[in-house]
Amino acid sequence: MENEIVLALLSFILILTVMHFPCLRSNISLMISASVSVLLLALHIVTLSFEAFDYRSYLLVIGIQALRHIADKYNYAEIPTEDVRKGYILSMNTVVCFIGSKINGLPMAMTEDLRSRLSEEEAESVVRWKGSKQGSETVTIVKKIPFAIFIALGVLVFLILEVKQ
């Protein structure tokens, strides 16, 4: 592919897709993708060249992974289910656990932003959910959403890319 920017964009989309779906991170998926890669190389559909190796893409991926790890570590808290109150924002992983539950009024919003704040009824439903068959002693909530750091990083990346051109 001639356009390096499009290739890098496609690579990032592929990486984010694999990160989003745990089933794509299994050993079977790894073996299938490695086999397809070897086949494409053997049939000369894809060529492998180390002359134009661009380390910046790899550094960017490592940086994004590090930021995600930091965000996951500090932006979530595990609390006892009976402590859930109005206004809390549940993590997407917790909301997924509600799927298939017979408890009425459980929240189904998975955005992890202010639109997903629990109402009084939803908080009561989550507390009731604890005693159900699928219930859990703890739930994960979003502690804070640090928009400022992402805005600052976006501005920094923009300035770096603009200066290089």
The residues spanned by each domain of the chain are 4-73, 76-142
What confidence tier does 1 reach under pLDDT thresholds 50, 70, 90?
Answer: very low
* pLDDT at site 59: 82
* pLDDT at site 147: 67
| pLDDT (tens digit per residue) in 65-93 | 887 777 767 778 889 999 999 999 998 88
Interval 131-140 mean pLDDT: 90
Which is higher by pLDDT, 54 or 28?
28
* Residue 13, pLDDT above cutoff 90: no
Range list of H helices, 21-146: 27-42, 55-74, 92-97, 120-129
| 18-32, 75-89, 128-142, 143-157, range with the lowest pLDDT | 143-157
* pLDDT at site 130: 92
CA distance 23 to 95: 19
Distances (CA, A) of 108 to 91, 94, 118, 126, 133: 11, 10, 10, 11, 18
* Residue 116, pLDDT above cutoff 80: yes
What confidence tier does 3 reach under pLDDT thresholds 50, 70, 90?
Answer: low
Give the rounded distance of the alpha carbon of 160 from its chain centre: 25
